[in-house]
Amino acid sequence: MRLDKYLKVSRLIKRRTVANEACDAGRVLVNDKPAKASTNVKAGDTITIGFGNKEVKVEVLDVQETVRKEEAKELFRYLT
């Protein structure tokens, strides 16, 4: 699945266009490498997102095309 779509489906970022802009600005890393919005994401990947002065690091546990709001948090696990 594309990185921008995964960020939206998992609700790490609210809108796909915002996810696209974050990728273009270089604020999203996949496995510690800068990633484009079209980068393919699979289970086991590590995603780091820079939000201003804080950073969120998650591990991808599952990839699904659609998921309900309550189940979105099961797609990833926060890392420190």
Q: Of 19, 6, 11, nearest to 46 (Cα)? A: 6
DSSP code, position 18: H
Distance, in Å, from the CA atom of 42 to the CA atom of 3, rounded to the nearest integer, reads 9
- Radius of gyration for the alpha carbons in the chain, expressed in angstroms and rounded: 11
**pLDDT per residue as tens, the chain (80 positions):** 999 999 999 999 999 999 999 999 999 999 999 999 999 999 999 999 999 899 999 999 999 999 999 999 999 999 96
Distance, in Å, from the CA atom of 62 to the CA atom of 66, rounded to the nearest integer, reads 12
Q: What is the pLDDT at residue 80?
A: 66
